[in-house]
Structure 1
Amino acid sequence: MDPTSTTTPMHNDIETESGSVWNWWPSWRPTSMSLLKTTESKILACIQNDVWSRFVTLPNQDRIWTLTLTNKAVRKPAEQAHKTPLVMVHGFGGGVGLWIRNLDALSRSRPVYAFDLLGFGRSSRPPFPSDAAKAEEQFVNSIEQWRQSVGLENMILLGHSLGGYLATSYAIQYPSRVSHLILVDPWGFPERPQVQNQSGQDQGQGQEVVKRQGPPRWVKAIAAVVSLFNPLAVIRAAGPWGPGLVNRFRPDFKRKFEDLFDDDTMTQYIYHCNAQSPSGEVGFRAMSESLGWAKRPMLQRVHLLPPSMPLTMLYGAQSWVDSSSGEKVVQIRDETQTRVMLINEASHHVYADQPHAFNRVVESICDSVD
């Protein structure tokens, strides 16, 4: 049962950006934190193991929405308590509900923690700086403060997409806390390809290259306008048509979970996660360049991970994320502690596309820790 329904006033569930010019939108958009809570509760009702859901309050009073799962079938709970917990960090625009195919299986042998990143899902949505390094630091600091508040000494840290980028940054700064780093289709690793200059010569090389026709002016103009907004602004701008937009443009989310829900539960969850104040989006936009690339690519920093830290990178074989970054990480670290694995018939959301294969691989990694 959600303890917040009895221990915190209802108005705490409805968090908006104070002073924002968009504060009138919630009356037009069919969303609220309460609706997100209701939709998420329907998803979490599928969990068979014991689950404790609550807000973890950080020193600055930001709150991180957190699930803790333990196996209620274990005869000796103390045995599971001694296992290194698995901590799962979702990707951009997601939340804890997206792990619904994985939480029960992965909590069979050890405690599992899943939380909504600061600025996403049901967690607090504070302002983020526009500087890439400072925005990243705010995310990473919130993860460390969350760890301290929960009382974890060590963890197996798993991050998907944006969560993989932030998990790597966290492991670089707090290596003693990470027993094994698992990156699932991580965002932000490769450097953005260099663009050839207008003269048709490679920068600094003086060699002729084929001239590429640039996009028309009208395309550049639209791109310039779109770049002024947060990535998911269209969902909020669509008002009452927002949920329909999510259904139309992300029908795959409905398909991935159709054996659990025969309605729009999962697309409604995605909608309510992203129709709130776009705090985490602001942080992501500060760190990103044209969405697909990080301003501070992780390949430039991955050598800062301790050589002894085990690292496993899981990619969907049909994902838009290029798994060659994983091979480059192996070369950079030059260590047997780095593994790259492809999961067949999986796209970017590996954990939902092939949950059984994903769970099996992650369980095996966890068992290798203890």
Structure 2
Amino acid sequence: MGGGAGDLPAAASAVDPAAAGPAAASAPGAGSWLPQSLRWRRTSTAEADTAERGMLGLLRSRVAARSVPVGPGPQDYLRTLEVEPPGGDAAPAPGKAAAAATDASAAAAAASGDGARLPVVLLPGYGAGAAFWWRNIDGLAAAPGLRLFAVDWLGTGRSGRPPFSARGHAEAEAFFVDSLAAWRAAEGLEGRKMVLVGHSLGGYLAAAYALRHPDHVQHLVLVCPAGVPEKPEGWESRFSSPAVPALRRALFRAAAGAWEAGVTPGAVIRALGPWGPGLVGKYVGGRFSYHGQPLTAEEVPVFSDYFYHISASAGSGEFALRHLLSPGAWARSPLRRRLLGLPPAGEGGPGPAPAAADAAAPAAAAAAAATDAAAPAAAAAAAGPGAAAAPPAAFPPVSFIYGEHDWMDPRNAVALAAELDKARPRAVPSDHDVQIIPDSGHYVMVEQPAAFNETLLRLLAPWLPRG
């Protein structure tokens, strides 16, 4: 975390669907002194706020939106959407929001019955934002016993954009994990366990959080997660071998070079200037029409506007990508090894191959009580160099949800779940469970929202009120 230009937004605001309909997202040039036609990058904080309000205007639920400080810098805050409980106290009017909740702890204390409700935190994937869960919020909000949040990771979405200075995957993970831990404390959730529901790269980071803070997590739900398998040996040769056509080799080298140099989709959108919104609009119109329930004519412009503004905002957390994943989206520290308690590849040998891991996994999982890379110094010293970074015995239940046509191959999770079953007993019936939702792809929660919600609630049934 670190400082950056700009001031922290107002601590909280409440969005009433009746007052923040989809039309709000098209308000031109709000908060900018330059006309749209003279600006290269067509975004501003005020316009991003309007775009977010447009997304929340698609909901029936009332949502309190606030920026929760997680560090000393003016850009150290996490944008937080909390759903008002059905039948609960009315959210404050937008003009009175700051007076009603001047900090996160006051906002948390103001909610009635929060201590009895299970905190469920929806975490978006790479390049996405908290409002990507808009099709799920109404259905999940109707389930009894949940306190529902959607939170932008630091440096992404509508969260603060501090300078990103991390080097290596451990520092990159800490950028996100430490800020989420600070958010939990600021929200008054200390002493409470929360459910983390992370999509794509957000699933990888949610797992990293659970490995670091297993006592904070009731249940870990990984939705189409990145970073589960290990990179196959010789994967690059598929593109770099002399037998591969020269053009294909050149394209691979260019793509891999851009990846390692930190070129990101957000950087491309910012560089395109006035052509950025059109590119995002075309992407949204096509990308979300392949599977399940296509976006409606009402949703497309609102979602496109929101997607553009979070993509065109100052670069920050997006630059973690090359530190967390290598070209081809292979994790530099794969979850399979970490959840099984195996040492990182290259430490104490390459480790057992997947076919031979069954016998080694139980012993490795039970060998250490250290919690990932953040294990106490004494445990690390006793274990010695190259020791297994095994999850503790009390590691929370973990479940997986995939789309049938997901480009993140669900077979990797199925194989991992079988290894986990042999390594340790299931804490609850849905532990180590893998669910695949038909007629959906990588954005399963958008493409099949009803099926996704039903699946998620079934996985969380052990923690929810019965009847």
TM-score norm. by structure 1 comes to 0.84
- 1:1-370 residue pairs with structure 2 within 5 A? 4=11, 27-61=39-73, 62-73=76-87, 81-108=115-142, 109=144, 110-128=146-164, 129-152=166-189, 153-195=192-234, 212-213=243-244, 215-216=246-247, 218-220=250-252, 222-223=254-255, 226-227=258-259, 228-232=261-265, 233-252=267-286, 255=289, 258-259=295-296, 261=298, 263-290=300-327, 292-303=329-340, 304-306=390-392, 309-334=396-421, 335-336=425-426, 337-370=431-464
Q: Give CA-to-partner distance per residue, 1:307-365, whole Å, 9 cap, x none.
A: 55221100100111101121222133224331011000010001001000001111222
Aligned equivalents of 1:70 and 1:168: distance in 2? 27
Partner residue in 2 for 1:18: none
SS in structure 2 of the partner of residue 176 of structure 1: helix
My pick for the range that moved more, 257-266 or 82-91, is: 257-266
Q: Give CA-to-partner distance per residue, 1:179-220, whole Å, 9 cap, x none.
A: 11111000111111221798x9xxxxxxxxx98426446435
The RMSD of aligned alpha carbons is 2.9
Matching residue's letter, 2:229: P
Matching residue's letter, 1:30: R
SS in structure 1 of the partner of residue 303 of structure 2: helix
Larger-gyration structure (1/2) = 2
Matching residue's letter, 2:244: Q
Partner residue in 1 for 2:379: none
Q: Give CA-to-partner distance per residue, 1:57-89, whole Å, 9 cap, x none.
A: 0133411110111322369x9666412111111
Closer/same/farther in 2, CA of residues 306 and 331 from structure 1, 3 Å limit: farther
Aligned equivalents of 2:115 and 2:138: distance in 1? 16
| Deviation (angstroms), 1:266 | 0.8
Aligned equivalents of 2:246 and 2:326: distance in 1? 18
Aligned equivalents of 1:100 and 1:84: distance in 2? 20
Matching residue's letter, 1:100: W
Aligned equivalents of 1:246 and 1:168: distance in 2? 29
Answer whether contact 1:230 1:281 (CA < 8 A) is retained.
no
Answer whether contact 1:343 1:357 (CA < 8 A) is retained.
yes
How many percent of aligned residue pairs carry the same amino acid?
A: 33
4+ runs deviating over 6 angstroms: none
Q: When the two structures are aligned, how many residues end up with a matched partner?
A: 342
Closer/same/farther in 2, CA of residues 54 and 257 from structure 1, 3 Å limit: farther
| Deviation (angstroms), 1:260 | 7.0
My pick for the range that moved more, 65-74 or 266-275, is: 65-74
Closer/same/farther in 2, CA of residues 53 and 78 from structure 1, 3 Å limit: closer
Aligned equivalents of 2:66 and 2:328: distance in 1? 31
| Deviation (angstroms), 1:225 | 5.0
Aligned equivalents of 1:253 and 1:5: distance in 2? 33
Answer whether contact 2:80 2:149 (CA < 8 A) is retained.
yes
Aligned equivalents of 1:353 and 1:345: distance in 2? 8
Aligned equivalents of 2:313 and 2:236: distance in 1? 41
Runs of at least 5 residues in structure 1 that lack an aligned partner in the other structure: 7-12, 15-25, 201-209
Partner residue in 1 for 2:20: none
Answer whether contact 1:63 1:123 (CA < 8 A) is retained.
yes
Answer whether contact 1:171 1:305 (CA < 8 A) is retained.
no
Matching residue's letter, 1:231: T
Matching residue's letter, 1:83: R
Matching residue's letter, 1:184: V
Answer whether contact 1:254 1:266 (CA < 8 A) is retained.
no
Closer/same/farther in 2, CA of residues 262 and 341 from structure 1, 3 Å limit: closer
| Deviation (angstroms), 1:288 | 1.6
My pick for the range that moved more, 220-229 or 342-351, is: 220-229
SS in structure 2 of the partner of residue 92 of structure 1: coil
| Deviation (angstroms), 1:265 | 1.4
Answer whether contact 2:288 2:447 (CA < 8 A) is retained.
no
